[in-house]
Amino acid sequence: MTADGVDFRICLLYQGRSGFQHGIIVEVQRRFGTSLHFHSDAQAILDDVMQGKTPAPVQKNVLPEVSDEDSDMDECPPPPSGSSSLAMVERMLAFPGFDAQYLGLQTLSALVDPDKMSPQTARRTAQALLKAQSAVGEEILGYITTRKTNNESHNRLRIMALVGILVNSTKASGIIPDFFRLALRPVLLDDLMDAKANPLAALLAAKCMEYFICGDHDDTIELNDGFETSRKVGEELFLALKEQAERCMRCIQ
């Protein structure tokens, strides 16, 4: 699964013949989700694993900014507030069914991602999302704090919530309010300790915890145990998890 929530399978199909005996035919199948970058993800897999090439960096999809000299500000409408962006997401999440919920979370993830939106838009939306009594924030928090290991649909929604509210929002705003911290900390520690079952959730949990562990006065031994467990799993299965766990461990030393 990619960080955008796209499921894919890598199939090794046939060994080559004649002039192609040195290689095999490989197919990367998208099984769930949509992503503007899926084609580049698949190409990177083929280049890196099969040919030893270094994949090209993904281009950021940042919205262009208009300067004062380029436009008459009196004729331009004011920029949308974070609350207005969340109102759209709230309406999407109000529809029943997995597809509507997933689309709403995907939209939210993009709105708070400074790599996909302008930094100002991402910051305003993230700040509104992380405020107390934010309807969307409370709903997203519910996705994250409810762990259903045997419910695939819920786990997909939870991954999108981790990306949207934790990773992207904390990156955009640089803060996690105390009421979020208290609710999230034990759940994120569970994700770290359960890294073997879900390495992607552990990676996202570690990315979020990087933003607030420096000011964390709770049990450092507990944090170290969680990061060390994830580091070992990452060393075996998932290089990005290993590197992120080591980064967090350095923060609390």
What are the pLDDT digits (tens) for 215-251? 555 667 888 899 999 999 999 988 999 999 999 888 8
Q: What's the pTM?
A: 0.70
Let me know: does 80 contact 134? Beta carbons within 8 Å: no
- Residue 63: band (very low, low, confident or very high) from pLDDT cuts 50, 70, 90: very low
- Report the candidate in 62, 61, 111 with the shortest Cα–Cα distance to residue 88: 111
Cβ neighbourhood burial of 145 (10 Å; 0-12, 13-18, 19+): middle
Tokens at residue 119, please? Answer: 């930094």
Residues 6+ apart with CB under 8 A from 155: 148, 149, 198, 201
pLDDT mean across residues, the chain: 79
Tokens of 86: 């969340």
Alpha carbons 60 and 36: distance in angstroms, whole number:
11
Query: Comparing C-alpha atoms, which of 153, 250, 147, 142 is closest to residue 193?
Result: 147
The SS3 of residue 154 is: helix
Question: Quick one: which H or E segment has residue 183?
Answer: helix 178-193
Q: Are 4 and 17 in contact (CB under 8 A)?
A: no
Q: Hey, what are 218's tokens?
A: 């709770």
